[in-house]
Chain A
Amino acid sequence: MTSTEPAITPELVASHGLKPDEYERVLKLIGREPSFTELGIFSAMWNEHCSYKSSKLWLKTLPVTGPKVIQGPGENAGVVDIGDGDAVVFKMESHNHPSFIEPYQGAATGVGGILRDVFTMGARPVAALNALRFGDPEHPRTRHLVSGVVSGVGGYGNSFGVPTVGGLVGFHTRYDGNILVNAMAVGLAKADAIFYAKATGVGLPVVYLGSKTGRDGIHGATMASAEFDEGSEEKRPTVQVGDPFAEKLLLEACLELMASGAVVAIQDMGAAGLTCSAVEMGAKGDLGIRLDLENVPTREEGMTAYEMMLSESQERMLMVLHPEKEAVARAIFVKWGLDFAVVGHTTDDLRFKVYLNGELKADLPIKELGDEAPEYDRPWVETPKAQAVAAANVQTQADSREALLTLIGSAELSSRRWVWEQYDHIILGETVQKPGGDSAVIRVDGGPKGLALTADVTPRYCEADPFEGGKQAVAEAWRNLTAVGATPLAVTDNLNFGNPEKPEIMGQLVGCIKGIGEACRALDFPVVSGNVSLYNETQGRAILPTPTIGAVGVLADVAKSATIAFKREGEAIILIGDTKGWLGRSCWLWLVAGREEGAPPPVDLASEKRNGDFVRSMIAAGVTTAVHDVSDGGLLVAVAEMALAGRIGARLDPPHSGTAHGWFFGEDQARYVVSVPESQAGTVVDAASDAGIIALRIGVTGGERLIPGDEAPILLSELREAHEGWFPRYMAGPAVDAA
């Protein structure tokens, strides 16, 4: 594109992702035909990714407040009070579309973007997590994507210097054409030193900081708001390139600048870059913004206003500064070798005016750009309820031994060591519980206080019943925090779905949000930040509905946190919670019986709360020696993981009720397995009974085998081989790169 801007045609409008009625809305709003630059700005502000136009109506129904919430959704990240003047700042965000097209850079810039969201608020990032979903392991492209995404996540986080302490990896053929990369960052700040995007004061300098602007990532957010088709490979140029080194410098420079008192408002340049950040700072502060683009540091010559406004080059920040501190601010950035340029100023006319070499390129009403974005009440249909699956009606040849070895050595449940060993999870020296447990635990500034962190969702449940699946994602996150002894605080949600213009997909989104809302209300677990990723479809085939829940809890003393590892031989194993042998949508039904069907386990939130509070109190009292929540794979998988982690076997009772496969592999919710010294077993069971909780003594730790009732025993060494073997074997397999 040269200096002459192209004429606005219906085709040009359509290629900007604006529907005819949306373009009508533009014409009505500004009373004339937009310039090319203005059309670009509208496409950036009004796409699904930035405007939440399909989901906003439903997101409003989520509980977002609470006594400890300092900042809920709407800023770069959520902020929650953790006592002693400290605050935790966190958010999860997707980078799905770019990661499919270019896995290393897509994943790396996903991590970079979410880290920036956290330190923009004035917090130093202290932990990262991620939730990754790939296609069928046998799909020719999967191995290449796993390899690229994992090294991209590690490459960025390791260099930046934040420990990647947890997350999840899943495989399912429904992600063959659309993988998910959801990255979460967690930071710490002082509760009275949080920075916001809202600008105040007229005539103040708008300052550009960080890396230079190039032509990369133009229309990235628009790409992320459409389905993939056969030509999606050609979208590689819209994927940005990450520079973790620049981001590390930007972090240090920003924190130093914030401490200097120079910052009025700050906004990172993420999706839709300069456009979104400038509009947001002005609109939130009821101010206009004037930009003079010739002052923007650029990597390339001859960039147009359109390109500069839509570039998604990484590692950039926009700030409004106190004018008298400009020299101090500039010196800090020069020291760190970063660009610092005054690119505009705040005005009182509520207009967003963009000039290039004195020529006016855009003149738009700043508040309406965001406020008047389309908002849809899209038609939706409820997902039909599936029938429950009775354990007695599904039989296989596999005994418990064979089923356990299958499950624990499967793509779904095998050890993720191959993945997390590529992430630096110990840097900063505060990692108390590394990946592999229920939640990661990190200390806050040397302790004793700590944070528990987890990311969870069970997409196969959400597919069968979005409402119960949404509830379950929240309940499992809450349970995982509880299982290390933490008090759950708040969540961030990353809602990944297909095309919302299809009523059945919209029904999944609505159902999941309703379920998340219900669970968050019941468990006092507000949603403080989040992100929505729609159009995860390729040639009409959507992903499984995947509302990933990232959750944070607080521990008064990390020394008291519980782990999943059995500690001593001869201890009692107690199962807490009710076991009905629910096999619908279980891993056993899917991976052992080969059937993906049935209703998922219902989530009784009152039981979740009661059982969880009980377990947490036992951990606090120092009664338990090991604690694990029961989730994917059921009871026997949970006990096997505890045995493997502790290198101590277990002898379990035969089923106390129902069939062996229902008892050992059912995925009933609100359950935990704990080990306690023999002398305490009776007391624990009695205390549970007094609280109206089912607690059964189901076995004893010891030996080098896991013995499921009267069935054949399994050597821990066999279990370990199966559990640890799958991932390295798979990744060492034939590398087939889909060209």
Chain B
Amino acid sequence: MKSAVILFPGSNRERDVANALRRAGGAVEIVWHGESELPTGTDLVVLPGGFSYGDYLRCGAIAARSPVMDAVRAHAERGGKVLGICNGFQILVESGLLPGILTRNRDLRFICREQHLKVERADTAFTKGYAAGQVIEVCVAHGEGNYFADPETVARLEGDGRVAFRYCDADGSVGGLSNRNGSINDIAGIYSENLNVLGMMPHPENLVDAAVGGTDGAALFSGLAKAA
């Protein structure tokens, strides 16, 4: 699998996700946001976490208008896979590749902590390493991860099975205190209509190593590597 990790000014988890992809056996190229084309043979585009353009204006708003984003959009339209994590998710919604918006966390504070997620379905390119309904432990680190969309959009996402992950506790009970940012329907990640674009707030890339917190994030990357 060949991945292009897009580097925007202010990205800061590009090395983390590149490391996770390489551990899964993938080839990774870091691509500067000013490029107008993706490397030939790119299977997966990753928009990494960080504070692109300082999160000034709105999170992801400026990066969504970077030169490289036209190529990313074209890649997605061709059915190519796109993964946006944290700030990458914010960029995906700002660029129209995914619906809805991400607003400030409910308690208005940045949150960094371990976080359990429920994997909603295991038949997409991103989740084939998991079982449907499986509870995994990853982590979150964001100030603006409160997912919101209008009722029709949420109904469509739910009806079409496009919710990828939900915040839950260790026993898999969804919502309540485990949804710390206030996201609607406890949504932690969503797919595009064709299931080839995934945006998620939590960081699977930081949980791929038993020595550093755990390995529950690794299956996302190994699943992708096998899919390609």
Q: Are B213 and A431 in contact (CB under 8 A)?
A: yes
Give the shortest distance, in Å, between B4 (CB) and chain A (any CB).
Answer: 18
User: In the complex, which residues 47-81 of chain B have their Cβ closer than 8 Å to any Cβ of chain A?
Assistant: 49-51, 53-56
* Chain A residues near B53 (CB-CB < 8 A): 245
- Within 8 Å of chain A (Cβ to Cβ): is B133? no
A428-B16 contact in complex given A154-B110, A337-B9, C-beta closer than 8 Å: yes
- Within 8 Å of chain B (Cβ to Cβ): is A426? yes
Give the shortest distance, in Å, between A151 (CB) and chain B (any CB).
Answer: 7
Binding stretch for chain B, among A53-61, A86-94, A381-389, A417-425: A417-425
Query: What 0/1 pattern do residues 222 to 244 of A give for CB contact below 8 A with B?
Result: 00000000000000000000011
- Within 8 Å of chain B (Cβ to Cβ): is A427? yes
Contact residue among B12, B110, B205, B208 (Cβ-Cβ distance under 8 Å from A161): B12
Q: Are B51 and A421 in contact (CB under 8 A)?
A: no
* Chain A residues near B139 (CB-CB < 8 A): 426
A238 to B12, CA, bound (A): 30
User: In the complex, which residues 141-161 of chain B have their Cβ closer than 8 Å to any Cβ of chain A?
Assistant: 141, 143
Of A158, A424, A432, the most chain B CB neighbours within 10 A belong to A424
Q: Are B111 and A559 in contact (CB under 8 A)?
A: no
Q: Are A243 and B206 in contact (CB under 8 A)?
A: no
* Chain A residues near B32 (CB-CB < 8 A): 335
Query: What 0/1 pattern do residues 195 to 214 of B give for CB contact below 8 A with A?
Result: 00000000101101101110
Q: Are A159 and B112 in contact (CB under 8 A)?
A: no
Give the shortest distance, in Å, between A485 (CB) and chain B (any CB).
Answer: 14
- Within 8 Å of chain A (Cβ to Cβ): is B39? no
- Within 8 Å of chain A (Cβ to Cβ): is B215? no
Q: Are A426 and B203 in contact (CB under 8 A)?
A: yes
With CB as the reference atom, state the residue of chain A lying closest to B208.
Answer: A429
Q: Are A428 and B15 in contact (CB under 8 A)?
A: yes
Q: Are B112 and A243 in contact (CB under 8 A)?
A: no
Give the shortest distance, in Å, between A721 (CB) and chain B (any CB).
Answer: 15
Query: What 0/1 pattern do residues 148 to 162 of A give for CB contact below 8 A with B?
Result: 000100110011110
- Within 8 Å of chain B (Cβ to Cβ): is A645? no
Q: Are A422 and B10 in contact (CB under 8 A)?
A: no
Q: Are A249 and B213 in contact (CB under 8 A)?
A: no
Q: Are A243 and B141 in contact (CB under 8 A)?
A: no
* Chain B residues near A429 (CB-CB < 8 A): 15-16, 19-20, 205-206, 208-209, 212
* Chain B residues near A422 (CB-CB < 8 A): 109-112
Query: What 0/1 pattern do residues 392 to 433 of A give for CB contact below 8 A with B?
Result: 000000000000000000000000000011111111111110
* Chain B residues near A420 (CB-CB < 8 A): 112
User: In the complex, which residues 156-174 of chain A have their Cβ closer than 8 Å to any Cβ of chain B?
Assistant: 158-161
Query: What 0/1 pattern do residues 12 to 56 of B give for CB contact below 8 A with A?
Result: 110110011000000000001000000000000000011101111
Q: Are A243 and B54 in contact (CB under 8 A)?
A: yes
* Chain A residues near B19 (CB-CB < 8 A): 429
With CB as the reference atom, state the residue of chain B lying closest to A164.
Answer: B112
Q: Are A248 and B112 in contact (CB under 8 A)?
A: no
Q: Are B16 and A158 in contact (CB under 8 A)?
A: no
* Chain B residues near A151 (CB-CB < 8 A): 109-110
- Within 8 Å of chain B (Cβ to Cβ): is A367? no
* Chain A residues near B209 (CB-CB < 8 A): 429
- Within 8 Å of chain B (Cβ to Cβ): is A558? yes
* Chain A residues near B143 (CB-CB < 8 A): 158
A429 to B113, CA, bound (A): 13
Q: Are B211 and A421 in contact (CB under 8 A)?
A: no
With CB as the reference atom, state the residue of chain A lying closest to B139.
Answer: A426
Q: Are B56 and A245 in contact (CB under 8 A)?
A: yes
Number of A-B contacts (CB under 8 A): 89
* Chain B residues near A421 (CB-CB < 8 A): 109, 111-113
* Chain A residues near B12 (CB-CB < 8 A): 159-161, 248, 427
A432 to B32, CA, bound (A): 30
A335 to B32, CA, bound (A): 10
User: In the complex, which residues 140-183 of chain B have their Cβ closer than 8 Å to any Cβ of chain A?
Assistant: 141, 143
- Within 8 Å of chain B (Cβ to Cβ): is A443? yes
Contact residue among A246, A248, A431 (Cβ-Cβ distance under 8 Å from B212): A431
- Within 8 Å of chain B (Cβ to Cβ): is A376? no
* Chain B residues near A245 (CB-CB < 8 A): 9-10, 51, 53-56
* Chain B residues near A244 (CB-CB < 8 A): 51, 54
Q: Are A159 and B10 in contact (CB under 8 A)?
A: yes
Contact residue among A158, A335, A432, A559 (Cβ-Cβ distance under 8 Å from B51): A158
* Chain B residues near A423 (CB-CB < 8 A): 110, 112
* Chain A residues near B9 (CB-CB < 8 A): 245, 248-249, 336-337
- Within 8 Å of chain B (Cβ to Cβ): is A20? no
A155 to B143, CA, bound (A): 9
**A: contact size bracket:** 20 to 34
Give the shortest distance, in Å, between A243 (CB) and chain B (any CB).
Answer: 7
Query: What 0/1 pattern do residues 320 to 358 of A give for CB contact below 8 A with B?
Result: 000000000000000111000000000000000000000
Q: Are B212 and A430 in contact (CB under 8 A)?
A: yes
A426-B110 contact in complex given A159-B55, A245-B53, C-beta closer than 8 Å: no
A161 to B52, CA, bound (A): 11
Q: Are B212 and A427 in contact (CB under 8 A)?
A: no
Contact residue among B20, B141, B208 (Cβ-Cβ distance under 8 Å from A427): B141
- Within 8 Å of chain B (Cβ to Cβ): is A379? no
With CB as the reference atom, state the residue of chain B lying closest to A558.
Answer: B211
- Within 8 Å of chain B (Cβ to Cβ): is A447? yes
Give the shortest distance, in Å, between B146 (CB) and chain A (any CB).
Answer: 16
A642 to B13, CA, bound (A): 33
Q: Are B206 and A426 in contact (CB under 8 A)?
A: yes
With CB as the reference atom, state the residue of chain B lying closest to A418.
Answer: B109
A335 to B110, CA, bound (A): 30
With CB as the reference atom, state the residue of chain B lying closest to A434.
Answer: B213
Query: What 0/1 pattern do residues 689 to 701 of A give for CB contact below 8 A with B?
Result: 0000000000000
Give the shortest distance, in Å, between A255 (CB) and chain B (any CB).
Answer: 13
Give the shortest distance, in Å, between A415 (CB) and chain B (any CB).
Answer: 13
Give the shortest distance, in Å, between B32 (CB) and chain A (any CB).
Answer: 8
Q: Are B211 and A447 in contact (CB under 8 A)?
A: yes
* Chain B residues near A249 (CB-CB < 8 A): 9-10
A245 to B56, CA, bound (A): 9
With CB as the reference atom, state the residue of chain B lying closest to A728.
Answer: B107
Contact residue among A160, A246, A335, A426 (Cβ-Cβ distance under 8 Å from B112): A426
Query: What 0/1 pattern do residues 180 to 211 of A give for CB contact below 8 A with B?
Result: 00000000000000000000000000000000
* Chain B residues near A425 (CB-CB < 8 A): 112
With CB as the reference atom, state the residue of chain B lying closest to A147.
Answer: B109
* Chain B residues near A426 (CB-CB < 8 A): 112, 139, 141, 203, 206, 212-213
Query: What 0/1 pattern do residues 177 to 194 of B give for CB contact below 8 A with A?
Result: 000000000000000000
Q: Are B13 and A427 in contact (CB under 8 A)?
A: yes
Give the shortest distance, in Å, between B47 (CB) and chain A (any CB).
Answer: 15
A427 to B140, CA, bound (A): 10
Give the shortest distance, in Å, between A108 (CB) and chain B (any CB).
Answer: 12
Give the shortest distance, in Å, between B86 (CB) and chain A (any CB).
Answer: 10
* Chain A residues near B112 (CB-CB < 8 A): 158, 420-426
Give the shortest distance, in Å, between A725 (CB) and chain B (any CB).
Answer: 14
Contact residue among A158, A336, A337, A431 (Cβ-Cβ distance under 8 Å from B110): A158
Give the shortest distance, in Å, between B80 (CB) and chain A (any CB).
Answer: 26
Give the shortest distance, in Å, between B200 (CB) and chain A (any CB).
Answer: 16
* Chain A residues near B213 (CB-CB < 8 A): 426, 431
Chain B interface residues toward A at CB < 8 A: 9-10, 12-13, 15-16, 19-20, 32, 49-51, 53-56, 109-113, 139, 141, 143, 203, 205-206, 208-209, 211-213
A-B contact pairs, 17 of them (CB 8 A): A155-B110, A158-B141, A159-B12, A159-B55, A161-B12, A161-B13, A245-B9, A245-B10, A245-B51, A248-B10, A421-B109, A424-B110, A426-B139, A426-B141, A427-B49, A429-B209, A558-B211
Nearest 9 pairs of A and B residues by beta carbon: A161-B12, A245-B54, A159-B51, A424-B141, A429-B16, A424-B112, A422-B110, A426-B206, A245-B10
